[in-house]
Amino acid sequence: MRQVVLTNMDAARHYLLRRSQAFTHDAPLTAAAFSPDGSRLITADYAGRSRLWDVASGSLLAEHELRTDGVHAVSISATGTTMIAAVTDRTLVVQSLPAGNQPELTIPLADDENVTCAAFSPDGQIVGVGSDAARSSKARFWRVSDGWLLAEFEHARAVSQIAFQPQGSAVVTVSGDGRARVLDLTAARLIREIRPETSRIQRIAFTPDGKRTLVGDSQGAVSCWDTAGGRRLFDLARDSGSVTAIACASDGQTVAAVWDTGAVQTWSMEHRRPSCEHLRIDRYTRILAFRPGTREMLIAAEPHSATLRVLPDTSRLWSWLEPRRVTSIAFSHSGKLAVTGSVAGNARLRDAVTGTAVGKALSHRGPVERVAFRPDDAVVLTVGGDGMVRLWKATDGEPHGKPLDHQGDPGDSVSVEDAAFSPDGRFVLTGDNRGTVRVWDCDGGGLVRSLGDFDGEVRSICVDRDMRVIAGFGPPDQSVRAWELGSGKLLWTAQHRGGVRMVAASPDGRLVLSASNDHTARFWDATSGEQVGRELSHRGEVFVAAFSPDGRLAVTGGYDAAVRLWEVPSGRPYGEPMRHDGVVMAVAFSADGRRLLTGSADRSARLWDVATCLPLAPPFEHLGS
């Protein structure tokens, strides 16, 4: 039994990384921080300008400008006190906002001393400053209220990051020697070093409880360490390049990192796998943070702007699918409903977000192998291994008309290979393993006509926008045929040298695309049946084919484990082949045509960027093909 997953990616848009707000400056950004409740955001830039924002609306609440060589750190405490740390005239200035007449703290710097980083404690009461000078590199910590120097730690190389433990008194510093040092401010002593064996630490972040430290290194690895014991617990992910930023969400389970290649990834700590699609930016950044209490991630994807992006809640991501039992899935065009078919002989209507069952089970006497929604989403079609096609009301799962029965005499073994609605929703088209194409009345369930019996099973069927029925046949017929739906008149026949696996109609109705066992896919003129453009060649049988939503590109995949894009109608290759480790069995474009989802016998689904043909995420693993 063929297992097919039909995915409407537009309906799954709520599970993609969505852009929410943008916070812009006139100069490159240097720092950003949320208030503890996530309602406010402060950002700062190289020109010395700090801006306070309302996060929900994206509106600017206040602005402060300080003559400075750059703002190094910003903070908003639980009481709403906003602090900035900046360098001006060889002096480190700590200023509260809105600015009073006098700074909170001023610290003179040596003539050769450069401030390399700064950070505030979670309550805003302590400021830590890393510096580099000809004679020494230091991390120093002052009490903001009175300027008391709490502790000073020498480092062999420049200090590149300071991070305060959220729940505790420890501080971690990262320096140019590739080590992270865990420091006790109360006792002014070094607790321990965190030092990978073969790489250098670039950035670190704490989990919200402070018990674990996330480490990003020079070899592109992100690992999790026990803060108290200094033990490396596990590796979370790896990418090319060096890690430049890392952050952990307030749930303690979602981690994000940025590499100097511009790659941005998020993972689930619990499952140790990607939690959503990957993001790629044109530059690397050190500004990365999660909004407290939410699944929103702030990242400076552009030099002068930080954007807030909403991460999907993958804990609810179709958890209702039983991977060993579900054979097919389809989303309604509105994205509100889904229907799943299973080997147990029933299908279920479900809320597409929560997975809650809607109405009663849609029952067959055999496995449900195909499911589909009518264009108006009012009716659901299910194809069973019992040779029946059944229609159901999408509101409550009650039958819609009588079953569409392909069985002939008792004892006949007829299986429906494919089924489709007409664009106007008035008809259902079915094709079976006996080579018969039938047209049915959708509302009454009656047979309107048969479109002939041919020597080969009907592998694929579709209806184009001009109401032409297109069907692809297996051996020995090995043809693509087109009929006029209204009259049943055969319009044309086109021949392959091997069985036809799939047919698809272009969005404008001008072309038909077919995939065949003869190692080719081909374009046909939908009116005349003449071949258009060159053959789309693979190094093996071509199993799947589809048009992009705008009809400018086509995609094919098959036995050679390659997914290929082609220009329409010339058939010229577009970009480089996208590779799987097994036969390609399914392809689908996103609604905007910018992403491509592919499924393979290598037990993975993969998401690709259409413009570059590069992967957007690691493979999504499945239990079966």
The more confident residue out of 585 and 2 is 585
Write phi, then psi, for 382 (nearest 5 degrees). -130, 140
The more confident residue out of 270 and 213 is 213
Provide the pairing of β-strand 531-537 with 368-373.
unpaired
The more confident residue out of 95 and 282 is 95
Are the C-beta atoms of 383 and 368 separated by less than 8 Å? yes
Per-residue pLDDT at 233 exceeds 90: no
- Helices and strands (H, E) in the chain, number of each type: 0, 58
**Residue 2 binned pLDDT confidence (cut-offs 50, 70, 90):** very low
Domain 501-625 in CATH: superfamily?
A: YVTN repeat-like/Quinoprotein amine dehydrogenase (2.130.10.10)
- Walk across the sheet containing 346-351 and list its strands: 326-331, 337-342, 346-351, 357-363
> Which of 227, 226, 220 is CA-nearest to residue 241?
220
Which of 277-286, 382-391, 410-419, 456-465: highest mean pLDDT?
456-465
Are the C-beta atoms of 382 and 392 separated by less than 8 Å? yes
* pLDDT number for residue 617: 72
Block residue for tokens 């005499």: 409
Q: Could you tell me which CATH class the domain 196-311 is placed in? A: mainly beta
What burial letters (b/e) apply to 483-495, b meaning 16+ CB within 10 Å? Answer: bebeeeeebbebe
* pLDDT number for residue 4: 35
Beta bridge partners of 53: 41, 60
The structural domains of the chain, with segments of one domain joined by +, span 1-16+313-453, 196-311, 501-625
**Residue 236 binned pLDDT confidence (cut-offs 50, 70, 90):** confident
The tens digit of pLDDT for each residue in 3-16 reads 333 334 444 444 45
The more confident residue out of 222 and 342 is 222
| Domain 1-16+313-453 falls under CATH 3.40.50.720 | no
* pLDDT number for residue 324: 43
Q: What is the mean pLDDT of residues 241-253?
A: 92
The tens digit of pLDDT for each residue in 400-421 reads 988 888 766 555 667 888 999 9
> Which of 83, 14, 79, 9 is CA-nearest to residue 42?
83
pTM for this prediction: 0.56
* pLDDT number for residue 277: 58
Cα(564)–Cα(397) distance, rounded to whole angstroms?
39
Q: What is the mean pLDDT of residues 306-330?
A: 64
* pLDDT number for residue 171: 95
The more confident residue out of 8 and 582 is 582
**Residue 86 binned pLDDT confidence (cut-offs 50, 70, 90):** confident
Provide the pairing of β-strand 279-280 with 296-302.
unpaired
The tens digit of pLDDT for each residue in 480-514 reads 999 999 999 999 999 999 999 999 999 999 999 99
* pLDDT number for residue 6: 39
The tens digit of pLDDT for each residue in 127-140 reads 999 988 777 899 99
* pLDDT number for residue 330: 78
Give the percent of the chain with pLDDT over 70: 89
Per-residue pLDDT at 320 exceeds 50: no
**Residue 331 binned pLDDT confidence (cut-offs 50, 70, 90):** confident
CA atoms within 13 A on the CB side of 117: 19
State the CB neighbour count (10 A cutoff) for residue 58: 14
CA distances from 522 to 104, 154, 503, 516 (A): 73, 69, 10, 9
Cα(283)–Cα(254) distance, rounded to whole angstroms?
23
The tens digit of pLDDT for each residue in 340-355 reads 777 777 888 888 666 6
State the CB neighbour count (10 A cutoff) for residue 399: 13
Burial class (CB in 10 A: 0-12, 13-18, 19+), 195: middle
Q: What is the mean pLDDT of residues 36-57?
A: 92
* pLDDT number for residue 409: 54
Structure tokens at 511: 């072309």
* pLDDT number for residue 231: 87
- For CA atoms 327, 333, 335, 339, the dihedral sign is negative
Q: For all residues of the chain together, what is the average pLDDT?
A: 85
